[in-house]
Amino acid sequence: MARTKAVLGAGARLADHLAVAYLAMNCPLAKVRQVLDELGAQSKRRRDLPAEVLVFYVMALCLYRRAAYEEVLRVVVEGLRSVYGDEIGQTVASKAAISQGRTRLGAEPLARLYAQQVQPIGPHGMPGVWYRGLRVMGLDGSTLEVADEAANAQHYGYPGASRGSSAFPQLRFAALAECGTHVLVGAKMGPYRTCEHELAAQVLEHADDTMLILADRGFVGYPMWKAANQRASKLVFRLRENQVLPVERILPDGSYLSTLYGSTKARRDARRGVGGGEGFVVRVIEYKLKGAARGQEPATTYRLLTNLLDPAQAPATELATLYHRRWKIEQALDEIKTHLNDSMTLRSKTPELVRQEFYALLIAHAAIRRLMTMAAQQTAQAAEDLSFTAAVNVRAGSIVGSGTVSNLDWAHGFSCIAEKRAIETIEHGEPRTGYMKFGDTVRIEIKGGDGQSVFGAIEQMVAPAG
Cα separation, 398 vs 14, whole angstroms: 9
C-beta neighbour count of 349 within 10 angstroms: 15
Give the pLDDT score at 363: 93
Question: Residues 302-340, buried b or exposed e (16+ Cβ, 10 A)?
Answer: bbbbbbbeebeebbbebbbebbebbebbeebbebbbebb
Contact 333, 142 (CB under 8 A): yes
Contact 169, 156 (CB under 8 A): yes
Give the pLDDT score at 196: 92
Q: What residues have CB less than 8 Å from 378, skipping those under 6 apart? A: 435
Give the pLDDT score at 435: 74
Specify the pairing of strand 170-178 against strand 458-461: unpaired
Return the beta strands (E) in 179-278 as ranges.
Answer: 184-191, 211-215, 234-238, 249-250, 256-261
Give the pLDDT score at 339: 84
Distances (CA, A) of 61 to 56, 359, 462, 466: 9, 12, 39, 45
What are the residues facing 405 on neighbouring strands? 13
Boundaries of every domain in the chain: 122-334, 439-466
Give the pLDDT score at 402: 32
Distances (CA, A) of 270 to 227, 281, 283, 298: 21, 13, 18, 38
Give me the residues of the chain with pLDDT under 50, please: 1-4, 8-14, 16, 395-404
DSSP state of 430: S
Give the pLDDT score at 75: 75
Give the pLDDT score at 46: 53
pTM, entire model: 0.80
Specify the pairing of strand 458-461 against strand 441-444: antiparallel
Alpha carbon 56 to its chain centroid, in Å, reads 16
